[in-house]
Copies of this chain bind each other. A is one copy, B any other.
Amino acid sequence: MAFNLTILGANSAIPIGNRFPTSQIVEFNQHKFMVDCGEGTQLQIRKNKIKLQGLKAIFISHLHGDHYFGIFGLLGTMNLLGRTVPLQIFSPPGLKEIIDLQMKVGNSGYEFDLNFIELNHGQSELIYEDDIVEVSTIPLKHRIPTNGFLFREKPGKRKINKFHIEEYKIPVSQINGIKEGNDFVADNGKIIPNAQITTDPPKAWSYAYCSDTKYSENIIPVIKNVDVLYHEATFLKTELKRAKNTGHSTTAQAAKIAKMAEVGELIVGHYSARYKDLTSHLEETKEIFENSHLAIEGKRFEYP
């Protein structure tokens, strides 16, 4: 069908100017999700005119501050703006206790239900499913338990050409079955093969979010062939040792993962504050994986 991705923050821990800590909005056919929520996310939401009424869930990769310190203010603001619809929050264990403690000392509460789902770490698990999309974890290698998230749009139904419905006088009762792949059996017993009267469903998109992580080929089977991969590239390739020591990746490592996993497109982000200019990040990823892009605050990637 369609999906889009809005970058709210693509810097690592230290925000600089217009570069914010990590947060993204992922939207599949108007089902809206947030991935990570660094400090200032609510400012970016407002600046980018994103409506949050329909936000279904927030997925937190790990409990380093630059990936979740914005959730407190965001929840407070959603509450003040009148949210009543429940919200799901997926994160490693601990976030609920922090928020509960804040509510206690502030003698506060929310007018909507917060449903916390604590994530395991170690193997990929299906954690969310609705009629449009499935979300699974991607176990990453960082300094503390960290999950990436794999969004897979569910395959749509096959399309029947209206012309064929009239041509073969297909009754309404058989339409759904044919959309699901059945052949059409006419009253006289004649079989019209499905492929003759239908066309393929629209493409189902997939998106893998991998941050923060050191270089890990273990994720390749999980993210194999996804359409779009976001992979952190905190450092340029000269900082290989620093990347390893801090549990992060370089541009070249991100691009190598993209290449080995044969993804359609690579987006890199989570830049160290030491880099004022990101031109080299793009150049270094493109050397290994041509279809690479930079995550930049406010940028919206649309598919198709």
Query: Which of B14, B15, B97, B101 has a CB less than 8 Å from the CB of A94?
Result: B101
* A65-B73, A102-B65, A105-B98 as given contacts; A43 in contact with B40, CB under 8 Å: yes
| Docked-complex contact B107 and A101, CB < 8 angstroms | no
* A39-B39, A65-B76, A69-B73 as given contacts; A46 in contact with B15, CB under 8 Å: yes
Q: How many angstroms from the CA of A98 to the CA of B100 in the assembled complex?
A: 10
Is A77 part of the contact surface with B, judged by Cβ < 8 Å? yes
Instruction: Please give, as numbers and ranges, the residues of chain B lying within 8 Å of A40 by CB-CB distance.
Output: 39-40, 43
A211-263 at interface with B (beta carbon < 8 Å): none
* A63-B105, A94-B104 as given contacts; A70 in contact with B14, CB under 8 Å: no
A59-111 at interface with B (beta carbon < 8 Å): 63-66, 69-70, 72-73, 76-77, 80-81, 92-95, 97-98, 101-102, 104-108
Q: How many angstroms from the CA of A104 to the CA of B13 in the assembled complex?
A: 18
Q: How many angstroms from the CA of A92 to the CA of B93 in the assembled complex?
A: 27
Is A42 part of the contact surface with B, judged by Cβ < 8 Å? yes
| Docked-complex contact A17 and B46, CB < 8 angstroms | yes
Is A165 part of the contact surface with B, judged by Cβ < 8 Å? no
| A76 to B, closest residue via Cβ | B65
Instruction: Please give, as numbers and ranges, the residues of chain B lying within 8 Å of A50 by CB-CB distance.
Output: none
Is A164 part of the contact surface with B, judged by Cβ < 8 Å? no
Query: Which of B72, B80, B92, B97 has a CB less than 8 Å from the CB of A69?
Result: B72
Instruction: Please give, as numbers and ranges, the residues of chain B lying within 8 Å of A92 by CB-CB distance.
Output: 105
A21, A63, A105, A144 pick with most chain B CB within 10 angstroms: A105
Is A143 part of the contact surface with B, judged by Cβ < 8 Å? yes
A39, A69, A80, A104 pick with most chain B CB within 10 angstroms: A39
| Interchain residue pairs with CB less than 8 A apart (7) | A13-B76, A15-B42, A21-B73, A39-B73, A43-B43, A63-B105, A98-B101
